[in-house]
Amino acid sequence: MPSVISISKLAKHYQVPEREAGLKAAAKGLFKRTYKTVKAVDGISFEIQPGEVVGFLGPNGAGKTTTLKMLSGLLHPTSGGASVLDYEPAKRPHDYLRQITLVMGNRNQLSWDLPALDSFDLQRAIYGIPTEDFKRTRDEFIELLDLKELVQKPVRNLSLGERMKMEIVGALLHKPKILFLDEPTLGLDVTMQKRIRTFVAEYNKRYGATVLLTSHYMADVEALCKRVIVIHHGQLLFDGDLAALVEKFSAFKTVGFTLDNPATDLSQYGDVVSIDGSRVTMRVPKEKASAVTSRLLNDLAVDDLTVEAAPIEDVIESVFSVKKEAME
Amino acid sequence: MKRYFDYYTSMMKFSVMEQWQYPVANYFYMIGMLAEPVIYMVVWSAVANQQGGTVGGYTPGSLAAYYIVWTLVRQMNIAFTPYGWEWRIRQGRLSMSLLRPIHPLHEDVAFFAGWKVVMIILWIPLALALSLIFKPDLHPTLLEGVVFFVAIWMAYLIRTITLSLLGMVTFWTTRVSALFELYFAAELILSGRLVPLSLMPEAVQKAAWFFPFRWAFGYPIEVLVGNMPTNDLFIGLGMQFAWVFFGVVVVSQIWKVAIRRFSAVGG
């Protein structure tokens, strides 16, 4: 199947003026400026198939948002190529913009002073959506996100989570084929995050849309993405299945069990992460997990023993540290 | 074309709804803007009275007419300033606009056009009050009225284009306010904003022909109060169309270069 997103050696470099602190340096800077090249994105390549939901992960400043901005046509790449739906995003053809959306968790496009319904109607005019289609889609999304009671209130009177749900409706009314979601659940409580995740999953299922998602909430990634792309310092570190990432980079497993006497010295089995009443959670090297659990069962009176993969946050952290060492 | 018509009417409607949320704020804003023409009117009327009733052919009544029409033209030629460009880039608003399948300048033109509907409605009682106080000498013909109606919209477009050109400098530097101050000084002298151009030295009057300022400010006022020969009415409209055409060409060319430099600093 041909890919819908294809980028090859994509790079975005910035020339950033820099000088030392102080008046003398400021005066010197008037005559001679020095610049530093910041490689926000440094030659990354990947392809995404139609209908895929891909997690795009990396720490702050890794180059995730810059990549999304290049793919949505906001930024011109310094070098390399990008093709989305067979369009060159940097040229920003209107037919292309009609088929994509970029949702940024900290940005808004709705009027603060008017009910969201008015902003939705403006979106209809902007995207030239036929009125009947528009009404059907709008009502469908309102129902999916349970917004019926809220759409007539001025946006300024809504909570952050409610506003974000409205933003997502506004951004999807034209039924884009490609969704670039940049921290869509930023700052939301757990319930609201879950609601938005469910909605994105449902949209992907109903319309076969392709989603490229950045999030610092690993629950988003685990719930939505089978595949993840990890970047750091503008360079691609990993591209593959989330399960493979966990398998490859998870050095530890989490072993949990209930113990009558949690005061027992457990250091010979692994690192104790927490003790909650009689419930003990330990971190054990992956290759020793089987042996340790056998020993625990033989040596101690343990119940309810569970062995789980390390939290995805820890896995990602170990990707960064392993690759950092490899790069240094 | 139908799509653009739908977009413009929807955006204007949207803008009207937004502005009606704050009618009092808009009124105070407008009253604040009245101070400038009222001061000019009082000063020049005093000069006229001291010189035996006229100054450069203007009586206190025609000066009152000039500056009351001035207040309407000023409302009409309000456009998105370079300060606004700075703001929207820093706030990430321009990024949002650039994601839409319509040029951001259409958004500016349509939004402020809708705002004007509200401002004109609010302006009417103020204009009546000024007329009662200053008794303007204003007797436009039907033709002057029609030309004026076209001219004020053209003035709006010319000022939008020139301010957008200045605003686009923000793609090279995020501090464009200094240039705007320079623009403002030139506009004050060459547009008929400070004083009717006929009261300016001849060299200034001649120079004003070759800049956009007069066509975005003084010309529409002169149409209504200046007793211009019919020929001059249409020459003025021709100049306005020429500036709009020239401006659109320049804006579109600069935009192509400018947008490549956009770094989405504000998001």
SS3 state of residue B197: helix
The amino acid sitting at B47 is V
Q: Residue A326's pLDDT band (boundaries 50, 70, 90)?
A: low
Mean pLDDT of A280-307: 87
Ranges of chain B whose pLDDT falls below 70? 174, 264-267
Instruction: Select the residue of B7, B9, B100 nearest A97 (Cβ to Cβ).
Output: B100
Helix-then-strand count for chain A, H and E: 11, 13
Would the CB atoms of A72 and B18 count as touching at under 8 Å?
no
Would the CB atoms of B7 and A126 count as touching at under 8 Å?
yes
B174 contacts on A by Cβ (under 8 Å): none
Cα–Cα distance for residue pair B240/A287, rounded to 1 Å: 80
Locus of tokens 């789980």: A308
Question: Which DSSP letter does residue B138 get?
Answer: -
Q: What value, to the nearest 5°, has the Cα angle with vertex B230 and ends B224 and B233?
A: 55
Instruction: Select the residue of A75, A92, A114 nearest B17 (Cβ to Cβ).
Output: A114
A14 contacts on B by Cβ (under 8 Å): 263
Among B20, B22, B99, B256, the strongest candidate for a mutation testing the A interface, having the largest count of A CBs within 10 A, is B99
Locus of tokens 């400026």: A33
Cα–Cα distance for residue pair A172/A167, rounded to 1 Å: 9
What domains are there in chain A, each with its CATH number?
5-246 (3.40.50.300), 252-309 (3.30.70)
At residue A136, does pLDDT exceed 90?
A: yes
- Computed from CA positions of residues B132, B133, B137, B139, in that sequence, does the dihedral angle turn out positive or negative? negative
By DSSP bridging, strand A100-104 and strand A235-241 are: unpaired
- Please give the backbone phi and psi of residue A178, each rounded to the nearest 5 degrees, phi first: -125, 130
Q: Which of A59, A60, A66 is nearest to A44 (CA)?
A: A66
- Computed from CA positions of residues B51, B53, B57, B62, in that sequence, does the dihedral angle turn out positive or negative? positive
**Stretch (H or E) spanning A178:** strand A178-182
Instruction: Select the residue of B10, B21, B264 nearest A121 (Cβ to Cβ).
Output: B10
For A168, the token pair is: 């997502």
At residue A323, does pLDDT exceed 70?
A: no
A115 contacts on B by Cβ (under 8 Å): none
Would the CB atoms of A114 and B264 count as touching at under 8 Å?
no
pLDDT value of residue A328: 46
Question: Which DSSP letter does residue A310 get?
Answer: P
By DSSP bridging, strand A53-57 and strand A178-182 are: unpaired
Q: Residue A235's pLDDT band (boundaries 50, 70, 90)?
A: very high
At residue A321, does pLDDT exceed 80?
A: no
- Write out residues 5-44 of A within 8 Å (CB-CB) of B: 14
Q: Are A72 and A89 in contact (CB under 8 A)?
A: yes
Kindly report the number of other CB atoms within 10 A of residue A219's CB atom. 15
Greater pLDDT, A277 or B9: B9
Q: How far is CA A326 from CA A2, A167, A320, A321, in A?
A: 33, 41, 10, 9
pLDDT value of residue A322: 64
Would the CB atoms of A94 and B95 count as touching at under 8 Å?
no
Question: Which DSSP letter does residue A7 get?
Answer: E
Instruction: Select the residue of B21, B96, B267 nearest A113 (Cβ to Cβ).
Output: B21
| pLDDT, tens digit, 9 for 90 and up, residues A176-208 | 999 999 988 887 888 888 888 999 999 999 999
Locus of tokens 């004026």: B148
The set of residues, in sequence order, having a beta carbon less than 8 Å from that of B29 and lying 6+ positions away, is none
Mean pLDDT of A315-319: 76
Helices (H), A255-309: 289-299
So what's the ipTM on this one?
A: 0.86
A68 contacts on B by Cβ (under 8 Å): none
Q: How far apart are the first and last CA of chain B?
A: 32
* B interface with A, Cβ–Cβ below 8 Å: 3, 6-7, 9-11, 14, 17-18, 21-22, 92, 95-96, 98-102, 259-260, 262-264, 267
Residue A15 backbone class (left: φ over 0; alpha: ψ -120 to 50; beta: rest)? beta
**Stretch (H or E) spanning B31:** helix B23-50
Q: Are B156 and B77 in contact (CB under 8 A)?
A: yes
Greater pLDDT, B146 or A38: B146
Give chain A's mean pLDDT: 88
Greater pLDDT, A253 or A98: A98
At residue A129, does pLDDT exceed 50?
A: yes
Would the CB atoms of B101 and A107 count as touching at under 8 Å?
no
The amino acid sitting at B201 is P
Would the CB atoms of B18 and A94 count as touching at under 8 Å?
no
Cα–Cα distance for residue pair B110/B114, rounded to 1 Å: 6
Instruction: Select the residue of B18, B21, B99 nearest A97 (Cβ to Cβ).
Output: B99
Considering A95-99, A287-291, A321-325, the range whose residues carry the highest mean pLDDT is A95-99
Partners of A81 in beta bridges: A8
Cα–Cα distance for residue pair A316/A99, rounded to 1 Å: 32
Cα–Cα distance for residue pair A294/A125, rounded to 1 Å: 66
Cα–Cα distance for residue pair B105/B100, rounded to 1 Å: 12
SS3 state of residue A252: strand
Say whether residue A76 is in contact with chain B using an 8 A CB cutoff: yes
pLDDT value of residue B221: 96
For B7, the token pair is: 């977009």
Distance from CA of A184 to the nearest CA of B (A): 14
Locus of tokens 């005093």: B46
Instruction: Select the residue of A74, A92, A98 nearest B264 (Cβ to Cβ).
Output: A74
Cα–Cα distance for residue pair A241/B233, rounded to 1 Å: 72
A76 contacts on B by Cβ (under 8 Å): 260, 262
User: Measured in whole angstroms, how far is the alpha carbon of residue B18 from the centre of its chain?
Assistant: 21
Q: Which of A114, A89, A119 is nearest to A101 (CA)?
A: A89
Question: Which DSSP letter does residue A112 get?
Answer: S
For B108, the token pair is: 């500016």
Say whether residue A126 is in contact with chain B using an 8 A CB cutoff: yes
| pLDDT, tens digit, 9 for 90 and up, residues B14-57 | 999 998 888 888 888 888 888 889 999 999 889 988 888 888 88
pLDDT value of residue A312: 74
At residue A324, does pLDDT exceed 80?
A: no
At residue A140, does pLDDT exceed 90?
A: yes
Domain ranges across chain B: 2-261
